[in-house]
Amino acid sequence: MTTTPHRRQMPAPVLAPDGGRITTAAGRALAVLRIAFGFTFLWAFVDKVFGFGYATPAGKGWIDGGDPTAGFLGKGTTGPFADVYQSLVGDWWVTPLFMAGLAGIGLALTLGIGMRIAAAAGSLLYVLMWTAALPPETNPVLDDHILGAITLVVLALVAAGNVWGFGRQWGRLDIVHRYPWLR
């Protein structure tokens, strides 16, 4: 009789600071937060592709030949880094990278997979957007971009993809075992 090697179980989905488990309700609340953040990235991607008239005007979507980054980078940037961001308008790599980032981060968060990569990429995107519009309008230091970056890091640290997501299954993949940063 052959047996399959026992794979190490993933840690509890959410741990309290003292190492104990956080309540099931807290784990579910974190899952809802993760999914909500995932949908915000996915919605931004879809609206910029199709131009539904929300953040992207109708007829100006990527599919219509519009540039999803040109409006913000060209006209919405302020502060000490405005010239840097404005110089990126029209560069061949900016829009595809931005759009791939929105879709990838959104899918990873929504599905609960690759939480470390999603948190790092999403936090980087949030911080870049924060630096593109300095100083923040309502607070000299913090705004929703910094809070979003912090939230993504917390979601990854507590393995929020394991609750109502595919984080556990993702963590069992051989490639994820070989490269733990893919978790």
Tell me the per-residue pLDDT of 112-170, one tens digit each, with 9 for 90 and over: 999 999 999 999 999 999 999 898 888 888 899 999 999 999 999 988 999 999 999 99
Asked if the structure places residue 5 within a domain, the reply is no
Domains held by the chain: number: 1
Asked if the structure places residue 7 within a domain, the reply is no
Asked if the structure places residue 122 within a domain, the reply is yes
Q: What residue type is assigned to position 120 of the chain?
A: A
Nearest CA to 160 out of 102, 111, 103, 107 is that of: 111
Asked if the structure places residue 1 within a domain, the reply is no
Residue, of 106 and 159, whose pLDDT is higher: 106
pLDDT tier, 3 (very low <50, low <70, confident <90, very high otherwise): low
Length of the chain: 183
User: What rounded mean pLDDT belongs to the chain?
Assistant: 89
What is the extent of the structural domain holding 60? Answer: 24-182
Asked if the structure places residue 15 within a domain, the reply is no
In the predicted model, what is the mean pLDDT of residues 38-56? Answer: 96
Is residue 128 helix, strand or coil? Answer: helix
Q: 96-118: b or e for each residue (b if 16 or more CB lie within 10 Å)?
A: eebbebbbbbbbbbbbbbbbbbb
Q: What is the pLDDT of residue 20?
A: 56
Asked if the structure places residue 123 within a domain, the reply is yes
Neighbouring-strand partners of residue 133: 78
Neighbouring-strand partners of residue 15: 21
Asked if the structure places residue 12 within a domain, the reply is no
Asked if the structure places residue 11 within a domain, the reply is no
